[in-house]
Structure 1
Amino acid sequence: MSKVVQRYIALWDFEGCGEQELSFKTGDRFQAVDSSKEWWIVERITAIGSRTGEKGYVPANYLGEEGSVQEQPWFFGDLSRTEAVNLLMKKGNTTGSFLIRVSDKQGFVYALSVRMSDAVKHFKIMRSDQGEYHLFHTHLFPDLTKLIDHYKTKPVMKGLMLSEPCVKDEPVAADFSPLPLDEWERPREEFTLVKKLGSGNFAQVHEGYWQGGLKMRVAIKTIKQDDTNREIFRKETAFLKTLRHRNLLALYAVCSIGDPYYIVTELLSKGDLLKFLRGEEGQKLSVDSLLDVAGQVVDGMHYLETKHCIHRDLAARNVLIGRNNICKVADFGLARIINDDCYVSNSREVPYKWTAPEALEFGRFTIKSDVWSFGVLLHEIMSRGMNPYPAIPNSELLQYLKVGHRMSAPRKCSEKVYNIMLECWSEDPQKRPTFNELKFTMDNLSNYECSEVPSKPTTAPKPPPKPRGLFAKLQTINK
């Protein structure tokens, strides 16, 4: 029996640059020669399937599997709720504009997002034991196309029918590199620093260009060369090379020859999450969008948890945000892979107000100390960038926490979300949730129009004792 050859169709025009890249038009067809990386080597084929002999690199995110759901204009693949809302609310979309996206939530594989006049509704697309798709048990469909066709003629909810697919943004080919993942070291001459974005104790971060096989905008962290920084550079790059996740910052290249060292990563257009939350756009985010941001951070940290990695510096300033509010955990200078249950460090160079009490007092860092930090980060998100414990100096914080005091809930923060923070701030690390459990909790905070996934039963933690004396004054100031 002859092997079926999978073919792909171009979903957008693409203009290649350089001899290795292949230009193409929407509707062109290809056969993959090497599809193991994010830039594929393909061979162009004709409409009747004949080979042309013309080969080259193409960005894989410009192609869809011929004859599959990927070919449909309403299918958007991996997309968060916030990304879906931002796309559907853009100019060019109207009431009834819609898209289907892949969901990583427990209990359903796809979600349907539909624009109303001033909001977006989300529907779970369930699948029966026989493989049929449905929004409601009363109407079952053999495939997604039939489901879409039905709700173009029948309302998906009162007064709302599907009209036209959401206007699709052309993907950004510059997000990907055809370089093999093991060829990290690049010549310094390939990089151009353009403007400084920020600085820390050991490094500066610049926006720049990588002018190797592609001319692409990148972020370049420069680390001055000395014995201490050489170790920081070695540990951070070794750590980044092991990571590959949608919500973690991607490493592109390094330059360890010459001074300073370069760590080259993807560039996220909106900068760090803390500045974003305090800015005009962040101040206008809905609660649902804020929870989506928090959920993306949990997804990235859950991946680290599965890799037995601890971050040790999880905070809004170390999360980056890009187009359509995609969030990525960054700054892995303090991160460690742990072979045992914990990592012990006597260093006092820690983010004090984000660090768990057992790490402050005994230097014991675990996945659960990262969970504590996430609780503080969640407070930053829901307060839109408020400083934690603003009236309490570092020297008094540990005692404040040891007697049971915690930050009060941010203004307009629901009890459910505040209870998540309190669970993350449990005095006993073993009583804090794992990131896997947090992922379940955050997934089920989202309100879908059709909910068939049972809520996970939780017990609200006991509220902390009321503060007295000096701490009462400090907390009054805090409020």
Structure 2
Amino acid sequence: MSDNILEDIFVKRSQQKKKTSPLNYKERWFILTQEKIAYYDYDAEKMVYKGSVDLEKIKCVDLVQPEPGAPPERCFPFQIVYDEGPLYIFAKNEDIRAQWIQKLKHSRFAVKVSSMFLVDGMWLCCKQEVKQAPGCKILDGRNERPLPPKPPEPSGPSVGKSVRADYDYTPGTAQDLELKKDEEYTVLEMSDPNWWKARDKFGNEGYIPSNYVVEAKTGLERFDWYCKNMNRSQAEALLKSENKDGGFLVRDSSKAGKYTVSLFTKGGGDTIGSCKHYNICTTAQGQFYLAEKHIFSTIPDLIFYHQHNAAGMVCRLKYIVSNQTRPPSTAGLGYGVWEIDPHYLTFIKELGNGQFGVVKYGKLRGQHEVAIKMIKEGSMSEEDFIEEAKIMMKLRHENLVQLYGVCTKQRPIYIVTEYLCNGCLLTYLKEGLTQHPTMVQLLEMCKDVTEGMAYLESKQYIHRDLAARNCLVDSNGTVKVTDFGLSRYVLDDEYLPSAGSKFPVRWSPPEVLLYDKFSSKSDIWAYGVLMWEVYTLGRLPYERLNNTEIVHQVSRGLRLYRPSCDYFVFLGKVCGQTRSKARL
């Protein structure tokens, strides 16, 4: 017992793991050591261990406001917040409480904490109904460790600066401003990250989609051969689709701040053609080269030279291949527009029958390609979803399927989203890929999903049903996550995505299978299963087990087998190899 830092008898409040479980208050013997704080049931003869919290798992320690009319033994509460939620403890007096908080201060601390109790599934201070919800009170300096320095703010346009249009934009509402490719505009307001207010050279003002413009002084965006945010496999797909000997583009390298020239060639009598990738190297003086004998002060000068001279490459850069012909998706189809008039929709063909009803391909106003989910009545809590849709439309990321709007004035209601021509990832893995997809292609698919899910997590969204069937693939092979958060609005009796279960059993971790506990951590588990789907080209997880067997076996430690292919061996080798300076 000599290793104990503090010992005392406190009243402990039950964790209330379910909303329906009753509250109770029991005296426990608490012992604080260097590694953990533990509590015991005790009597004159023995102590019975009841639980503990490792100090390294503690996020914060802070006061809690006493309950109204609390009895004397519950007037000095404090909370220890860790991954599973708050542990509520009641000290005998203020001095003892302060002593314990002081000793526990060496742990890492959260930025926010709830100042009142969690009761019946609701925080009394901020009325949030999620146990893991971020707190509503910023901790004062006495309980906070210094936060790490913030990363530098990304450079980009600001109010008053000029931007250049990368794409034409036809106004969707009277509030919008028309954009003409390559013309400049002045930014007037940036309060909405997706829609900026701007002025054109004639003095006209209105809202423009922020992802259609770049800062006017930015260099490479001026050139058609530069394809920003394009990865290796997407570049290869685009170059092969053009099928021109000497077709090329310049893209961001996998190394931050570097660039790569991707070139398609049919040299040496090759009728099919292949892609070569060359890093643009930099000298100590900041000059650029592909071949060391030919050095240039700028990348455009380098590209101009190699358009006329091979100089170390398999052929010269003959044809510009660009992805700028198709503009990106906007957050909605106009500033402030989320309700879409169904008369503007043209239904062209049926794409499938999903959880919520029929999904059709169509066009909006005859020009925008869209997917239209026709929600069958009784399958969704419609009023709750409609309110949430206004927020979901503001989510914009290149690896999320964009929600354009909803049609709610009739039944069934429609959900109108971005259309991706290659369909769902699961079908694409089984049928759409070549017979032998490259390891880089599969890895890029996983990376695309990671990017989209990381953005959702940053916006405090939980997907709850991440799987290959809920990802879509566009014409360039980019994977985008869809149906994020929709499972929250499915009526219990209807949500049967996994043959008889109210949640996707094959993609669920033990805490979901046993306790229905969804979180960003359960999304990470589902992502691991999705990776398994990718590297097995769309096989069914736990294919030999039914749902009941999966719940039992996974809860006891069963995990998916390693795919029989050699992809993981390949990835291990790649991580240990040094890449050439001149080529990726």
TM-score by length of 2: 0.58
Task: Using the TM superposition, name which of 273-282 and 349-358 deviates more.
Answer: 273-282
Cα distance change, pair 365–10 in 1 and its aligned pair in 2 (3 A):
closer
Query: What pairs up with 1:25-424 in 2 under 5 angstroms?
Result: 29-32=183-186, 43=200, 61=212, 65=216, 68-95=219-246, 97-103=247-253, 105=254, 107-117=256-266, 118-125=273-280, 133=288, 142-149=297-304, 160-169=314-323, 171-173=325-327, 175-176=329-330, 179-211=333-365, 215-226=367-378, 228-230=380-382, 233-234=385-386, 237=389, 240-334=392-486, 349-416=502-569
Contact 2:165 2:212 (C-alpha < 8 Å) held by counterparts? no
Q: 1:450: which partner in 2?
A: 581
Paired amino acid for 1:319:
C
Q: CA deviation at 1:397?
A: 1.3
Task: Using the TM superposition, name which of 55-64 and 167-176 deviates more.
Answer: 55-64
RMSD: 4.4
**Separation in structure 2 between the aligned mates of residue 163 and residue 248 of structure 1, nearest angstrom:** 33
Task: Using the TM superposition, name which of 278-287 and 264-273 deviates more.
Answer: 278-287
**Separation in structure 1 between the aligned mates of residue 557 and residue 454 of structure 2, nearest angstrom:** 27
Contact 1:320 1:327 (C-alpha < 8 Å) held by counterparts? yes
Alignment coverage as a number of residue pairs: 404
Contact 2:287 2:298 (C-alpha < 8 Å) held by counterparts? yes
Cα distance change, pair 79–107 in 1 and its aligned pair in 2 (3 A):
closer
Contact 1:93 1:166 (C-alpha < 8 Å) held by counterparts? no
Q: CA deviation at 1:329?
A: 0.1
Cα distance change, pair 7–194 in 1 and its aligned pair in 2 (3 A):
closer
Q: 2:86: which partner in 1?
A: none
Q: Once the two structures are superposed, what CA deviation does each residue of 1:3-26 show, in whole Å capped at 9, x if it has no partner?
A: 9974747789x99999988696x8
Partner SS, residue 456 of structure 2: helix
Q: CA deviation at 1:349?
A: 1.2
Cα distance change, pair 328–400 in 1 and its aligned pair in 2 (3 A):
same
Contact 2:291 2:311 (C-alpha < 8 Å) held by counterparts? no
**Separation in structure 1 between the aligned mates of residue 295 and residue 369 of structure 2, nearest angstrom:** 46
**Separation in structure 2 between the aligned mates of residue 18 and residue 206 of structure 1, nearest angstrom:** 25
In percent, how many aligned pairs have the same letter? 29
Paired amino acid for 2:263:
V
Q: CA deviation at 1:307?
A: 2.2
Partner SS, residue 308 of structure 1: coil
Q: CA deviation at 1:203?
A: 3.0
Contact 2:420 2:472 (C-alpha < 8 Å) held by counterparts? yes
Q: Once the two structures are superposed, what CA deviation does each residue of 1:127-160 show, in whole Å capped at 9, x if it has no partner?
A: 6887555669998754322443565688786x53
Cα distance change, pair 249–91 in 1 and its aligned pair in 2 (3 A):
closer
Q: Once the two structures are superposed, what CA deviation does each residue of 1:27-74 show, in whole Å capped at 9, x if it has no partner?
A: x74445769657996646xxxxxx6x7899988759994783222232
**Separation in structure 1 between the aligned mates of residue 528 and residue 340 of structure 2, nearest angstrom:** 39
Q: CA deviation at 1:302?
A: 1.5
Cα distance change, pair 294–184 in 1 and its aligned pair in 2 (3 A):
same
**Separation in structure 2 between the aligned mates of residue 391 and residue 163 of structure 1, nearest angstrom:** 52
Q: Once the two structures are superposed, what CA deviation does each residue of 1:375-410 show, in whole Å capped at 9, x if it has no partner?
A: 211121122111111111111113333444433333
**Separation in structure 2 between the aligned mates of residue 354 and residue 156 of structure 1, nearest angstrom:** 52
Cα distance change, pair 331–232 in 1 and its aligned pair in 2 (3 A):
farther
**Separation in structure 2 between the aligned mates of residue 290 and residue 67 of structure 1, nearest angstrom:** 32
Higher helix fraction (1 or 2)? 1
**Separation in structure 2 between the aligned mates of residue 32 and residue 371 of structure 1, nearest angstrom:** 42
Contact 2:250 2:262 (C-alpha < 8 Å) held by counterparts? yes
Cα distance change, pair 192–155 in 1 and its aligned pair in 2 (3 A):
closer
Cα distance change, pair 5–181 in 1 and its aligned pair in 2 (3 A):
closer
Q: 2:79: which partner in 1?
A: none
Paired amino acid for 1:74:
W
TM-score by length of 1: 0.69
Partner SS, residue 513 of structure 2: helix
Structure 2 residue runs without a partner (length 5+): 1-158, 267-272, 489-499
Paired amino acid for 2:252:
V
Between 1 and 2, higher relative CO (CA 8 Å, sep ≥ 6) is seen in 1
